Structure 1
């Protein structure tokens, strides 16, 4: 490992993470990527944030360079616990937490499990309201060689088609981007681990759980997100008592790649301002008054 990348065994899994230490800042951001992704997805956001803050970007197992053990529990609750334990190992008591897509759901689990750890949360096109994996698929995951089906299913669409689905402007896709997202899947062990993730995936946090989260949250959404549509962002904004939703025009699901400068600007503004807390139930169900369109 070099001076900014590390590996540590946390909660029984080998965790890869980048740690960019700022010489004077006391504020620390922790970045959690989405499903089938890695720290690579923050390659444009991290350099901007580290100019002003400490930044830790984590490869959630089994993705990226983190371990792909076949005896690890890949539930959202356990992944959240793993991040919490990593912070304890690093002796970090207070963070700002950024979660993209699936990483947003894990971030919400962290806020639920250890609310005092997270000062503010930033949810980038966060997943939400998904039900528990259905029983037939869970049972199929126990069939020998099911991991080969997972591999075949993911390979069928191809890396470029997958990327075209998550960005608004496909012209931004280049060879570097394609290889960066492909590289972790060159190791066949990930497909065995993904089989366990399918088996362990519980449902997303319920509306009742969300309403109990008091952490101030900034929700940033791409208007043209085809993976987690804006309607999910609006629902989360209703259910999270202290939240604000920003909508980025001409943007898809991959907001850290598509609009890193704008995302950073909104994050800095959110972190620096005093966030006016709202009580549960004060938001109108028919109108989301704090949804702000951004060009």
Structure 2
């Protein structure tokens, strides 16, 4: 399925968008990718979403096919990314939201503004804590980004959060990361610096404002955004569920067929189930067997 592409003006930026139309679908899902990623990172996810929904992907103003349409004078804040997301939600009449990794920050900030259209949201590979492995990864990344050490930055991603990816994906990752523009490195450096020095990783204060039902999906072997740490969101949210994908790391449905199937089952099961009455969540974590 080939998408309809367009450049949409959102929050004073120009954003490359891809719209996968399904004539039989009644609902639309918007996907929010992680740092240094583009719409291409959702290739596996699209395979199980497009038969069920209309799907929207987009590149952040500093990334992918959006780069050519923006000036890149200053790095964007996660608050800026949240405002862009809110405008895209309205533009495409999105009903559901799904984020991956650092895309969870902008997504939660956007959800805290209670967009009227969003009925449910899925947050993949994200947690409210910066644990020791994540801090080590970020501190090394900060140095490589500052020094524009593209080769070592590519190896760092593959040896940490990408350690469970197939070798073909690791080669693609390294090629992609080592060929990013200087402004993309400055963008990521600004974000990590803020996370490490200003304690603004998850904007915990905003979580109490979220009234959208949420599903958090984490990999069993992801030591950077662990399933155990993700459960702490339950202390701040009124309506959330948790799923652990067995035998998977940070990249979930990209790692192997079993993880792809589990992630598909979890996401579709959550989005396609009728809305339940909202209730506090205590121990709702589930593990889906292959």
Normalising to structure 2: TM-score of the pair?
0.80
Equivalent in the alignment of 2:171: 178
Contact 1:77 1:109 in 2 (8 A): yes
Contact 1:48 1:261 survives alignment (8 Å): no
Could you tell me how far apart the structure 2 residues matched to 1:243 and 1:181 are? 35
Q: Could you tell me which residue of structure 2 aligns to residue 212 of structure 1?
A: 209
Q: CA deviation at 1:83?
A: 1.4
> 1:169 aligns to what?
164
Correspondence for 2:266? 266
CA RMSD across the alignment = 2.9
Q: For residues 49 and 194 of structure 1, do their structure 2 counterparts lie closer, same or farther at Cα, with a shift above 3 Å needed? A: same
> Residue 137 of structure 1 aligns with which residue?
none
8 Å CA contact retained: 2:218, 2:243: yes
1:177 deviates by: 5.3
TM-score by length of 1: 0.79
The equivalent of 1:86 in structure 2 is 88
Is the deviation greater in 60-69 or in 31-40?
60-69
Q: Which runs of 5+ in 2 are unaligned?
A: 132-141
Find out whether 1:221 has 2:215 as its counterpart. Answer: no
Secondary structure of 1:158 counterpart? helix
* Preserved CA contact (<8 Å) 1:168 1:251: no
Partner of 1:107: 107
2:252 aligned residue (249, 252, 255): 255
More displaced 10-residue stretch of structure 1: 47-56 or 267-276: 267-276
- Corresponding position of 2:79: 77
- The alpha carbon displacement at 1:71 in A equals 2.9
Identify the residue that residue 134 of structure 2 maps to in structure 1: none
> Which residue in the other structure is 2:41 paired with?
41
- Partner Cα distance (2:3, 2:220) in 1: 38
C-alpha spacing 1:5/1:265, structure 2 compared with 1 (3 Å)? same
Residue 15 of structure 1: how far off its partner (Å): 1.3
| 1:104–1:124 contact (8 Å) kept in structure 2 | yes
The residue matched to 1:215 in structure 2 has which SS? coil
State the distance in 2 between where 1:185 and 1:82 align. Answer: 27
Q: Secondary structure at the match of 1:117?
A: coil
In structure 1, runs of 5+ residues without a counterpart are 132-140
- Give the Cα–Cα distance (whole angstroms) in 2 for the partners of residues 166 and 205 of structure 1: 18
Per-residue CA deviations over 1:165-214 (Å, capped at 9, x if unaligned) read 224634x221x653356336523332243344456667144444213311
The one of 127, 137, 156 aligned to 2:152: 156
- In 1, the alpha carbon distance for the partners of 2:145 and 2:262 equals 40
**CA 19–220 in structure 1, closer or farther in 2 if over 3 Å, else same:** same
**1:191 maps to 2:181:** no
Q: Which moved more, 1:187-196 or 1:232-241?
A: 187-196
In 1, Cα distance between the equivalents of 2:118 and 2:161?
A: 28
Decide whether aligned partners of structure 1 residues 116 and 73 sit closer, same or farther in structure 2, where only a CA change above 3 A counts: farther
Pair 1:85–1:150, CA change in 2 (3 A): farther
Report how far residue 101 of structure 1 moved.
0.9
- What does the per-residue CA deviation read over 1:110-132, in whole Å, with 9 as the maximum and x for residues that have no partner? 1112431311000111242459x
In 1, the alpha carbon distance for the partners of 2:39 and 2:109 equals: 19
